[in-house]
């Protein structure tokens, strides 16, 4: 505990030296902001993390709450296309691992993004990452259609909305795709060989709804969780309910509590027929708590996987989660700290822990200076493996 306390103190002292405190006037932000002439801070407390208005906008099918009749489709708006990329210095060193160390300036990837309304009740989002061959100073990237989905909103009431295609399912709360940090959520990435982790987007259909009471739900039907290359079968189901207490959506105001359940079936080997699928389960509770300019995000998850998925003689039971604290002293500055943990059998992966510290400074709405440090430890079958990761990068969206 003393070591963690000293790390937090050092980070608090170092971040102001890395982040400039004053910000110039805000600029435009891509796709949705260009459509309305808004600034980034309309929907983001600190991009890519949504604020309460941004969460309501997404929940409302990419329509302004209360102004649905004034909306324009993509044919009536500016070209709905944006680019996102990141570049900077990366340091990634491992101990007792065959993974190579990284110590260089790198371009960290490129996203092509489009979104908007097809008609007054149907919106879409499209994210494509083009294939990039790794080279000196350029991180490799697979060509992936990360998201391509359409959402039909308010089918009779706010309690029935339908999203179909490839999307980020509602069981990941907080959102992996809109998190502030580079370091992954360990519990969301923990899965059997070839399985689809919670951090990935998935193909399927999702029903969702919400009311004025602060209650909301989501339920989905997805393709099997893998392995990649196997003929997928739509056999995975999930459900989520949440309640917000007070004004807001639990992002920057109000207090949000959520429950998630997931039931899936997957083949441990691509050569097995569909009849060889095995069961796995996930159940979790999460919370997003706000006090003034602080937000505390909590996740606890329990999992049970069939023994065959891990090549074991007994089923695997594991637990894990994270606690993330964000401090937003202004719309141009945010500090963050997160502790991740996974507890599993040592013969599989052993216990995993990660401590991440850093911040983001926004010289403009569509630009962020991002320093981050992360220390990871895993006590697995090969002994203790440690990783020290550090990055200073600039994120762009234009």
- Count other C-beta atoms under 10 Å from residue 238's C-beta: 22
Report yes or no: 391 and 356 within 8 Å, Cβ to Cβ. Answer: no
Contacts of 226 (CB under 8 A, 6+ apart): 194, 195, 196, 266, 267
Give the pLDDT of residue 232.
66
Any bridge partners for residue 320, and if so which?
301, 342
**SS3 for 2-39, per residue?**
HHHHHHHHHHHHHHHHHCCCCCCCCCECCCHHHHHCCE
Domain that holds residue 34: 2-397
Between the CA atoms of 291, 292, 293 and 298, what dihedral angle is there, to the nearest 10 degrees?
Answer: 10
Model pLDDT, residue 103: 93
Structural domains in the chain (count): 1
Q: What is the CATH number of the domain that holds 174?
A: 2.40.160.10
Give dist(CA 81, CA 15) in Å, integer.
34
Q: What is the pLDDT of residue 277?
A: 85
**Whole-number pLDDT of residue 105:** 96
Category of 85 on φ-ψ map: left (φ > 0), alpha (ψ -120 to 50) or beta: beta
Q: What is the dihedral of CA 128, 132, 136, 137, to 10 degrees?
A: -20
Residue 13 has a pLDDT of 39
Identify the helix (H) or strand (E) that includes residue 308.
helix 307-310
Dist. CA 255–CA 296, nearest whole Å: 10
Q: Which residues in the chain land under pLDDT 50?
A: 1-29
Q: What six digits make up the tokens of 127?
A: 């994210």
Calpha distance 149→244 (Å, rounded): 26
Cα gap 63→53, rounded to integer Å: 11
Q: How far apart are CA 227 and CA 84, in angstroms?
A: 29
Q: What pLDDT shows up at residue 181?
A: 97
User: What are the backbone dihedrals phi and psi of residue 9, each rounded to the nearest 5 degrees, phi first?
Assistant: -65, -45
Find all residues with CB under 8 Å of 291, minimum gap 6, and list them.
none
Return the pLDDT at 29: 41
Tally Cβ neighbours within 10 Å of residue 10.
12
Instruction: List the beta strands (DSSP E) in 60-153.
Output: 82-95, 102-119, 122-129, 144-152
pLDDT at residue 270, as a whole number: 66
């Amino acid at each position: 505990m003393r070591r963690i306390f000293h790390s937090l103190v050092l980070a608090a002292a170092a971040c102001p030296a890395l982040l400039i405190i004053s910000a110039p006037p805000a600029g435009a932000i891509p796709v949705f902001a260009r459509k309305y002439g808004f600034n980034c801070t309309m929907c983001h407390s600190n991009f890519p993390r949504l604020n309460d208005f941004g969460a309501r906008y997404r929940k409302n099918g990419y329509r302004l709450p209360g102004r649905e009749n004034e909306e324009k489709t993509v044919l009536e708006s500016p070209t709905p296309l944006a680019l996102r990329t990141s570049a900077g210095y990366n340091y990634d060193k491992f101990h007792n691992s065959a993974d190579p160390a990284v110590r260089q300036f790198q371009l960290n990837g490129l996203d092509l993004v489009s979104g908007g309304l097809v008609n007054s009740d149907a919106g879409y989002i499209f994210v494509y990452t083009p294939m990039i061959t790794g080279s000196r100073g350029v991180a490799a990237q697979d060509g992936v259609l990360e998201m391509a989905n359409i959402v039909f909103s308010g089918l009779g009431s706010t309690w029935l909305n339908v999203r179909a295609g490839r999307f980020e399912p509602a069981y990941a709360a907080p959102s992996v795709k809109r998190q502030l940090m580079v370091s992954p959520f360990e519990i969301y990435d923990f899965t059997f060989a070839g399985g689809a982790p919670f951090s990935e987007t998935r193909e399927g259909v999702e029903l969702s709804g919400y009311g004025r009471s602060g209650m909301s739900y989501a339920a989905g039907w997805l393709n099997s969780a893998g392995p990649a290359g196997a003929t997928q079968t739509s056999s995975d189901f999930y459900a989520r309910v949440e309640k917000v207490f007070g004004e807001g959506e639990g992002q920057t105001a109000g207090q949000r509590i959520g429950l998630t359940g997931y039931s899936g079936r997957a083949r441990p080997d691509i050569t097995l027929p569909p009849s060889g699928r095995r069961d796995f389960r996930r159940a979790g509770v999460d919370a997003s708590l706000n006090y003034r300019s602080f937000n505390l995000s909590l996740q606890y998850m329990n999992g049970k996987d069939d023994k065959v998925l891990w090549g074991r003689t007994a089923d695997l039971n594991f637990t894990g989660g994270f606690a993330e604290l964000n401090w937003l002293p202004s719309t141009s500055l945010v500090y963050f700290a997160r502790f991740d943990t996974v507890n599993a059998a040592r013969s599989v992966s052993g216990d995993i822990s990660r401590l991440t510290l850093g911040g983001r400074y926004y010289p403009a709405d569509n630009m962020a200076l991002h320093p981050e440090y992360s220390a990871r430890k895993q006590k697995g079958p090969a002994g203790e493996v440690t990783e020290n990761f550090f990055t200073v990068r600039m994120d762009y969206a234009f």
